[in-house]
Structure 1
Amino acid sequence: METLNNKLDLCERGNYSQVLQPLLAQYSATSVQADKVRLAAAIAASYIQMQQTALAEPYLRFAYEHADTAVDKAAHAIALGNWQQSRGNADAARASYDVAITLAGSDAGIAISSGLNRLKLDGGKLSATARISSLNAYWQRLPAVSKPQARIRFAINLGAQAKAIGPAGHALAYQAFDYARQLAQAGQESRLLLEALDQLAQMYEDAHRQDDALALSDQAMLVAQTMQAHDFLIAVEWRRGRILRQRGQTDMAIAAYQRALDHIEAIRTDIPVEYQDGKSSFRETLEPVYLGLADMLLQGADQLNAANKEQQLRRARNVLELIKQTELQDYLGDRCAVESARANRRSSTLAPGTAIIYPVILPSRMELLLETAGGMQHRSIAVSADSLRAEVIEFGSNIRDNLSFKPQAKRLYDMLLAPLDSLLQQKKIETLVIIPDGALRLLPFAALHDGQRFAIEKYAIAIVPALTLTNTAAREQQGTNLKTLLAGMSEPGAVVDKLPAVMVEQLLAAGPQSATATVATSATTGRQLSRGSFTRSMRSLPAGKSGADSNAAMSVTDKPAAEKLLRHQQLQQMLSLNGVDEEIRMLEKLAPGQTLLNAGFTVSAFAGKIKTGDYQIVHIASHGVFGGTADNSFLMAHDDLITMNGLQQLLRAGEKNSRGLELLTLSACETAEGDDRAPLGLSGAALKAHAKSALGSLWPVSDDAASALMAQFYRNLSSPANSKVQALQKAQLELLKNDNYSHPFYWAPFIMVGSWL
């Protein structure tokens, strides 16, 4: 039992990933029912904290159903209710809390726990006065709770709810947190004491009582020295850094921010990818720490001598790299893929003629960090984050809708590239590697304009999610030695019956006649640009937000067979991609390898080819969507959907027989418009596939232009003299020189992600 208790204690202290596998092993091995119940509860808590919430349910239900006593059963009912509440099932959560109250009888702890959780669930429907009245009633009952540890937890919960009400609840919040602090101190409950001190310190900071906030932070630091409490120390050091920065003590503030960042790195694998309310843990709690440190480092760089300035800029660059890594972890919901890419990265010295640009978007300014073979420099641009985002969104929209875009192209060029022009010319830069930030991920950099030329006429432009995740070693194979697997779908098959329900509803919303009319005017049945004059066929899914819910499959089981057949045929017609046949035929002549087309492009056939490890390029010409997360991103094979995780499994299956995937091309995928996380999907796909580079597009592309560009790209790639990004640049310039495709709508959305070599 000592071993079991030690494991449960690790769970109590928040070390979930460390203890999960031993807990699972012991759960399978034990035959003692009481131990199994305790283990099940701990396993469920671990899964919930690690945001694998679906895996928690069977263990929660087992603990609830097999608890020995009514009070234990009630406690597990509360845990189940909390899980249901986190999953958005409010009615089930209420029912679980009510069961807990019924089972517990007069037990004060269960009554308060159930009541506080139910109040959190329904508090938004009550007035502030009613919520405070309810909280005061629970406050009065706290002394009746027999276990001091439970009393402390309830006091912290109660204080947090009172604080959330606003000023009317602050007096009760102070009282509850201070009570929790005193009780935790007396009982030597270190972690709970840290939590109470943190809550009190935050209230003092919010009330601009900085000395009190710092004093409580000092107390928390003393407590934390005796234990592993990285999670609390993140908040403590970050708060200290904020206050010191406000007081103008920049060096001390930087040191505090750095310590906060070090604590983050120490427990990176244990921090939940998303909170239970759906907010990103990165966006809410981690990004401000990273960005605050980078901000101060960049802001103070100009006050240093040349050697120290270079060192500080590199330090800022390293912090930015951590931001980029965490963003991808957050998007993918998968730390393993990112950590694997970081571990397997091979790099080469930055070549002359190549420059790396890190734009850093801050609330009231943008920093441009430039790295070349000769060192690092930076420029600061006065622009608000909101106005920059609006400019980027409107610029892309105007290009897609064939509206005036040149003024915005010039303004954005002046912000992003003009401040660096003289340096780029001095260094004879030909290749720009851009690590975009926020809304800049949606920006077609190739279409920026200096007043005389587009950026693509001056530079080959690559997009990189993070240098530390990019294999920048030179290509081992060149030209025709790169064997290619071509997979294309011009005529969808059974996959149309596997589409997300939301997408199907959007596709069919216009009705069969409207859909038929669309097909008659567009070979790909893509949407025509609403305000513009482009009439060429589009490689787009007719529904603009088609990636809204890729987890919900279409349910047609209750529909008559004739109706299901009609829907199937309509969807097949709407999602046909006639230009894919021509594209595949052209590429067969340029890229030696194998072809899977239409009925031949099944998931199993694709997997079979990949497993051989024979291919260095995988080219997929089929519909696909990159949404706001990896969960609502997918590709379409002829018979089924290929999710991001599915793509990872398929492409990695052949790794042991392969020298690695040089390039993953997705020639008909689209990115959710206006969502600055969505372009991370292309980076994520490359990462999960262990591909050095990926080629895709920022918006639905013209069928004819895509086919022409892809053919030219592979011709260019066959020459050892061309890097991948140079091959793309030259293909884009060919379209620019063609009167039919000279508008940036046709060539600007194509981006090379990852290795540019």
Structure 2
Amino acid sequence: MTILLVNKSIPAVANQSSLPESNRIVQQLSETSDLLQQGKNYYQNGQYAEAAKVWENTLNYYQEKKEVVSQVQVLNYLATVYKDLGKTQQSQTTIAESLNLLKTFKKQDNQSNLLLAQALNTQGTIQILQGQTETAIDTWKQAAAIYDRIGDKTGKLISQINQAQGLETLGQYRRAKTLLEELVAELQNQPDSLLKAQGLRSLGVALQTVGDLQESYTALEKSLVISQQFNSRSDVSAVLFSLGNIAKDLQKYDVALTDYQKAVSLSPEPQAKLEAQLNQFSLLVKLQRWEPAQALIPAIETNFALLSPSRPAIYAKINFAESLIVIERARDNLNAAKAAQLLAQAIQQAREIKDPRAEAYSLQQLGKLYQQNGQLTDAKKLTQQAQKIAQEMDAADLVARTAAQAGTIAQEQGDIKNAIAAYEIAFNYLQSLRSDLVAINADVQFDFRESIEPIYRDYVSLLLEKGDDQNNLKQARQVIEALQLAELDNYFKDACVDTHPVAIDQIDVQAAVIYPIILSDRLEVILSIPNQPLHHYSTQLSKKQVEATLKRLYSYVSRGYIREESFRLSQKVYQWLIAPAEAKLNSSKVTTLVFVLDGFLRNVPMAALHDGDRYLLEKYSVALSPGLRLFPQGLERKKLGVLAAGLAEARQGFSSLPAVTGEIKEVTAKVEAKVLLNQKFTRDSLKIALDNQPFPIVHLATHGQFSSNPKETFLLTWSDRISILDFDRLFQKRRLGILEPIELLVMSACQTAAGDNRATLGLAGFALRSGAKSTIASLWSVNDESTSNLMKEFYQQLSNPKLSKAEALRQAQLKIKANPAYEHPYFWAAFVLVGNWL
């Protein structure tokens, strides 16, 4: 997670287009205050090595004069710049020296307290880089307390924002969001000022990182009003830039482009103008608006010419080059040469200013360009140079990028062994970066769908290219499970989902696990049967062909259309996933199939696959899992007790569900039960009921939707909606072990968002948020009456202790299917069991 490394010890200063060499400064500037300011100028321009030289000379001067207070100030500056140069150990030593000098102060006045708070703020940023996140949070708390004591509101705000982002790094997004909301409330009570505007802007950016775009937008809008009130062009421009980023995330592209253009017009600084122009340019390229994108190039190049070498300038060149490469691929208009020239300049400038991170990033991008142009030898050399620098700096994100790129190059050269080894490095580093990847990181610049997901898939593709090598198959299975987890992390913008690695043999010796994964050129399937080696098989079809078939099958089955066509498509998918494994499944006497599904396969009911004679449902119990790491535990069957809540009447624009009343009556007829129906079913009443009695089963019969957007994933109550993001609060006592966890969560009458490739992540999300061992929910909006009948039959079957939950659902579905009126899969196949099937 990017920490707001804002340090009051180094205030912002204007960019300067021309700066003298540091060795001449010492001769020309007699006043040390000028040296300090010159260092700040260099630092603010991103010229970290030059800033370090100036401050090192300044420190020597103060040490000779034995001016301890000034030494502390400069040491704080140096610790920050060493950190930014990647010299973490030197940075730690420097800040420790500053803190030791502070201990020698006999008088604790405002000045010494301010220096101590600055030193602690810097120390926290260093600690988090060293993986000491909890220690860093404590350090920032100390800094905030000191700032508060001396009345420095800016310093306190910075320290608290850093605390919140530290919590994000730990995956504690709920606590981070709560802290940020408190800061927003505190700022609201302050009189309007530019400080307040800047604080609100910082909070807006932090809230965007958490994934709370609406709150982020609100904070930024308030910042904009205040900035305009004080006629601060630079502040107004900065807020508009951030608002443009929010609009882009919300896919309001025209609004984003307008905001970026306004930011360019208002900003007095070339660097700020350039950043807004580059975001505007990359968005135009993404939207394939080639003419306005091309027209923007001269203005971008003009602003480049105004900048001295610095990290922001180098990153801007990389950003520009990437967009030019996209245009090159789409339009073949000779932008590759210009991109290569920009990247070569970036490498040279990074070396000039001694910025290894910027150098590694530039080398990696130039290597990528050479690789795309087929110049593999040069691409390999550049990528290896970048990886070596990244490893020396212990920059995990860059190591992951460069290693994956090295794997791609090795694969294209036919060196599969080294390609696999390179991807293994990338995969391991991605695992270590888990909490950093849950939200888009402005510094790392990783977008999950575009940058991270392909690494997992390409690695699996390599591992499964040849034969049934057990080591490769086991690693491929581990990567598939990790991808499932990474997708859920990315969905929630939260990395706090617990994992428990487990072997299938330890769960159910009569269950087989099927892992299909959709690759660019084929559909691969790994088969795991207890006490047998792993097996895999593949179908040579492109991702586009596979997804087109799956979407057509989903459309026919979920709407009850054309039985002949749905049969044909269902048999085709059966041939892909099941047919190659049938002999092994039969000989192993497997009774349950557990699917760890990928992509749009999650939307397709596996029970409705057809072998030409029978549905899969007629041969096996079926369950789904986002991965056995997430749902390994099985609980012993206890006396059934149900908390049932439902909504039969039309509410909040949703239609009535008249069969819900009868459904809940049937579900609760022969068991201990608590019922919340219609007006009695609210978020608060549900929480009270969950907190007061340990029901093993929770049955919710109400409208709801599973969507790829967590904010559009909800359950409807009488007066409000229960968001997936709030679901864990309802089940908090059970998740913490105060009450028994939920054995089974049933969500009746919900549906997935039509045509939404990632919607079923919301279904799995409800299961994970509740802590339920098993969840039953529907893949589409189902018939009210058939659902009621199915649920009645399911609970009757579940009362038989000899039947697993998966088998109880299967028997209920078979009973519904036997009714000629409900024979089509539309009526019985929608309901799926997610999680533990026993």
Scaled by the length of structure 1, the TM-score of the pair is 0.79
Are the structure 2 counterparts of residues 150 and 636 from structure 1 closer, same or farther at C-alpha, using a change threshold of 3 Å? Answer: closer
1:187 match: 353
Residue-by-residue CA offset, 1:320-344 (whole Å, 9 max, x unaligned): 10011111122223222x2x3x159
Residue-by-residue CA offset, 1:524-578 (whole Å, 9 max, x unaligned): xxxxxxxxxxxxxxxxxxxxxxxxxxxxxxxxxxxxxxxxxxxxxxx4xx61110
Are the structure 2 counterparts of residues 210 and 693 from structure 1 closer, same or farther at C-alpha, using a change threshold of 3 Å? Answer: same
The farther-off stretch of 440-449 and 395-404 is 395-404
Give the CA deviation at 1:378.
1.5
1:644 match: 724
The code of the aligned residue for 1:221 comes to Q
The code of the aligned residue for 1:99 comes to L
The counterpart of 1:4, out of the listed 112, 121, 125, is 121
Give the CA deviation at 1:180.
1.8
SS of aligned partner of 1:752: strand
2:649 match: 491
**Structure 2 counterparts to residues 514-525 of structure 1, below 5 A:** none
Give the CA deviation at 1:78.
4.7
Task: Determine the C-alpha separation between the residues in 2 that align with 1:323 and 1:381.
Answer: 21
The code of the aligned residue for 1:248 comes to G
Are the structure 2 counterparts of residues 53 and 216 from structure 1 closer, same or farther at C-alpha, using a change threshold of 3 Å? Answer: farther
Are the structure 2 counterparts of residues 369 and 191 from structure 1 closer, same or farther at C-alpha, using a change threshold of 3 Å? Answer: same
Q: Does 1:395 align with 2:553?
A: yes
1:32 match: 152
1:324 match: 484
Task: Determine the C-alpha separation between the residues in 1 that align with 2:779 and 2:401.
Answer: 37
The counterpart of 2:340, out of the listed 154, 158, 174, is 174
Residue-by-residue CA offset, 1:98-131 (whole Å, 9 max, x unaligned): 3322xx5xxx545555555565567847446533
Q: 2:514·2:526 contact (CA, 8 Å) conserved in 1? A: yes
Are the structure 2 counterparts of residues 66 and 702 from structure 1 closer, same or farther at C-alpha, using a change threshold of 3 Å? Answer: closer
The farther-off stretch of 154-163 and 240-249 is 154-163
Q: 1:231·1:264 contact (CA, 8 Å) conserved in 2? A: yes
1:367 match: 524
SS of aligned partner of 2:480: helix
Are the structure 2 counterparts of residues 577 and 414 from structure 1 closer, same or farther at C-alpha, using a change threshold of 3 Å? Answer: same
Task: Determine the C-alpha separation between the residues in 1 that align with 2:832 and 2:365.
Answer: 46
SS of aligned partner of 1:593: strand
2:314 match: 152
Residue-by-residue CA offset, 1:53-85 (whole Å, 9 max, x unaligned): 566678879999999xx99x7665554233111
Are the structure 2 counterparts of residues 372 and 604 from structure 1 closer, same or farther at C-alpha, using a change threshold of 3 Å? Answer: same
Are the structure 2 counterparts of residues 96 and 28 from structure 1 closer, same or farther at C-alpha, using a change threshold of 3 Å? Answer: farther
SS of aligned partner of 1:379: strand
What 5-or-longer segments of structure 1 have no aligned partner? 303-308, 497-570
Give the CA deviation at 1:622.
0.6
Q: 1:201·1:212 contact (CA, 8 Å) conserved in 2? A: yes
The counterpart of 2:262, out of the listed 80, 95, 116, is 95
Task: Determine the C-alpha separation between the residues in 2 that align with 1:402 and 1:60.
Answer: 48
Q: 2:318·2:342 contact (CA, 8 Å) conserved in 1? A: yes
The counterpart of 1:445, out of the listed 598, 606, 610, is 606
2:777 match: 696
* Larger RCO (CA under 8 A, 6+ residues apart): 1
Are the structure 2 counterparts of residues 197 and 53 from structure 1 closer, same or farther at C-alpha, using a change threshold of 3 Å? Answer: farther
The counterpart of 1:378, out of the listed 521, 526, 536, is 536
1:131 match: 296
Equivalenced residue count is 654
Task: Determine the C-alpha separation between the residues in 2 that align with 1:95 and 1:131.
Answer: 14
Task: Determine the C-alpha separation between the residues in 2 that align with 1:603 and 1:46.
Answer: 29
Give the CA deviation at 1:275.
7.4
The counterpart of 1:657, out of the listed 733, 738, 751, is 738
Are the structure 2 counterparts of residues 704 and 5 from structure 1 closer, same or farther at C-alpha, using a change threshold of 3 Å? Answer: same
The counterpart of 2:800, out of the listed 707, 715, 719, is 719
The code of the aligned residue for 1:95 comes to K
Give the CA deviation at 1:171.
3.2
SS of aligned partner of 2:780: coil
Q: 1:272·1:281 contact (CA, 8 Å) conserved in 2? A: no
Q: 2:274·2:300 contact (CA, 8 Å) conserved in 1? A: no
The code of the aligned residue for 2:517 comes to V
The code of the aligned residue for 2:767 comes to A
Are the structure 2 counterparts of residues 127 and 250 from structure 1 closer, same or farther at C-alpha, using a change threshold of 3 Å? Answer: same
Task: Determine the C-alpha separation between the residues in 1 that align with 2:124 and 2:214.
Answer: 22
Give the CA deviation at 1:472.
3.1
The counterpart of 2:688, out of the listed 601, 608, 611, is 608
The counterpart of 2:240, out of the listed 81, 93, 103, is 81
The counterpart of 2:666, out of the listed 561, 567, 586, is 586
SS of aligned partner of 1:468: coil
Are the structure 2 counterparts of residues 75 and 219 from structure 1 closer, same or farther at C-alpha, using a change threshold of 3 Å? Answer: farther
Scaled by the length of structure 2, the TM-score of the pair is 0.72
Give the CA deviation at 1:615.
1.0
Task: Determine the C-alpha separation between the residues in 2 that align with 1:10 and 1:208.
Answer: 42
Q: 1:37·1:66 contact (CA, 8 Å) conserved in 2? A: no
Give the CA deviation at 1:13.
11
Q: 1:282·1:330 contact (CA, 8 Å) conserved in 2? A: yes
Task: Determine the C-alpha separation between the residues in 1 that align with 2:820 and 2:394.
Answer: 65
1:306 match: none
**Structure 2 counterparts to residues 281-320 of structure 1, below 5 A:** 281-302=447-468, 309-320=469-480
Are the structure 2 counterparts of residues 402 and 471 from structure 1 closer, same or farther at C-alpha, using a change threshold of 3 Å? Answer: same
SS of aligned partner of 1:695: strand
What 5-or-longer segments of structure 2 have no aligned partner? 1-117, 160-198, 248-254
The counterpart of 1:706, out of the listed 787, 812, 823, is 787
SS of aligned partner of 2:516: strand
Task: Determine the C-alpha separation between the residues in 2 that align with 1:126 and 1:314.
Answer: 49
Residue-by-residue CA offset, 1:672-710 (whole Å, 9 max, x unaligned): 122231122221101000000101111111122111111
Give the CA deviation at 1:163.
3.9
**Structure 2 counterparts to residues 39-50 of structure 1, below 5 A:** 48-49=208-209
SS of aligned partner of 1:691: coil
The code of the aligned residue for 1:215 comes to K
Q: Does 1:226 align with 2:396?
A: no
Give the CA deviation at 1:258.
0.6
Give the CA deviation at 1:162.
4.0
1:545 match: none
Give the CA deviation at 1:268.
1.3
The farther-off stretch of 611-620 and 16-25 is 16-25
The farther-off stretch of 19-28 and 731-740 is 19-28
Are the structure 2 counterparts of residues 162 and 32 from structure 1 closer, same or farther at C-alpha, using a change threshold of 3 Å? Answer: farther
Are the structure 2 counterparts of residues 45 and 213 from structure 1 closer, same or farther at C-alpha, using a change threshold of 3 Å? Answer: farther
SS of aligned partner of 2:754: coil
SS of aligned partner of 1:471: coil
SS of aligned partner of 2:455: helix
Residue-by-residue CA offset, 1:605-646 (whole Å, 9 max, x unaligned): 111101114211100001111112222111111111111122
Are the structure 2 counterparts of residues 191 and 653 from structure 1 closer, same or farther at C-alpha, using a change threshold of 3 Å? Answer: same
Q: Percent identity?
A: 29
Residue-by-residue CA offset, 1:693-734 (whole Å, 9 max, x unaligned): 101111111122111111111111111101100100111111
The code of the aligned residue for 1:349 comes to Q
1:621 match: 701
Task: Determine the C-alpha separation between the residues in 2 that align with 1:727 and 1:34.
Answer: 61
The code of the aligned residue for 1:382 comes to Q
Task: Determine the C-alpha separation between the residues in 2 that align with 1:14 and 1:216.
Answer: 29
Task: Determine the C-alpha separation between the residues in 2 that align with 1:396 and 1:94.
Answer: 43
1:756 match: 837
SS of aligned partner of 1:411: helix
The counterpart of 1:596, out of the listed 664, 672, 676, is 676
